[in-house]
Structure 1
Amino acid sequence: MIDQKQFDKILELIDSGKKEGAKLECGGVAMDDTGLYIQPTVFSHVKDHMRIAKEEIFGPVQCIFRFKSQQEAIERANSTEYGLASAVFTRNLDRALSVSATLETGTVWVNCYNALHAQAPFGGYKMSGNGRELGEYALAEYSEVKAVTIKLTETL
């Protein structure tokens, strides 16, 4: 992890997942005493009310949720106050496009994850950031827009 504070936060979130009843499938502990490394961690049986479901973890933690319909999955994904990125895995292109359009996230990856490109803007919706990195939209962070209006004819 980037620093001790983030390391401790991730371990605290992992502990909260265990205490709140998610099933730890693997990982969940620091790797060793030589650095700020945490084993890749997977939780199943995650419920929407759990901290690991509601907070942005920014660490090697994967939460697996069950859902019964595409609509339920979309509603649950959009019910969070965050919206940085999402992924859709499907063989159906129509489904990929319709789900991507309805997800309230700044980035949607289809059949991949974390595929960043310098030309594609990256940034979130809602409480997941402000502005965009990468791509043409990132240039807006370094500029200011000004409107100047000049009357060219004199009429009094």
Structure 2
Amino acid sequence: MDGPIVVTVGQLQGGNRFNILPETAEIAGTIRSLLIGNRKIAQESVRLKAQRIAESYGVTAEVTIESSSGYEVLVSDPAATKAVIPALEAATGPGKTSEIRPTMGSEDFGSFGRNIPVVFWILNASPFSDRAGAPYHAPEFAIDETALRVGVRALVGSAMAYMLRPASAPTSERLQR
């Protein structure tokens, strides 16, 4: 009830002939959630369901969940975000920045935010004026390289805004120099 949980089966392997039951089969995939607690609940649920389904057929199931694989949940630091939003708006122009709602995508940037404040932002570089382009990692992915000028302004401006915050900001919010 605390947000979505997505269990994806990305691999299913077993046997090498269409008319012979395999001795073993292997299923692999991912479990994603916006909360670590939900991920743990889903992992235990997958483990129990696999074992009980196997038992009902008189076989066994071994479930291995690699907690080291996968990425941390990516959460932008609220104070750091507040500090850089004006710079992002200055780089993009009035009314061209917006907050992105949480998504179930996988992003390794979340690992950086474990010990330091981070702000994750996405540069819209779609080559189409009337719609979004293909998603990242898609074969059709392409960008409008003129958007890179906006991206550089946004990156430099947000870095400067964060570093030049008032010294009165709490230590956790200030960049360690």
Task: Please classify the TM superposition score into its range, dividing by the shorter chain length.
Answer: under 0.3
Structure with higher Rg: it is 2
TM-score, with length taken from structure 1: 0.21
- Whichever structure has more strand as a proportion of its residues is 1
- Whichever structure has more helix as a proportion of its residues is 2
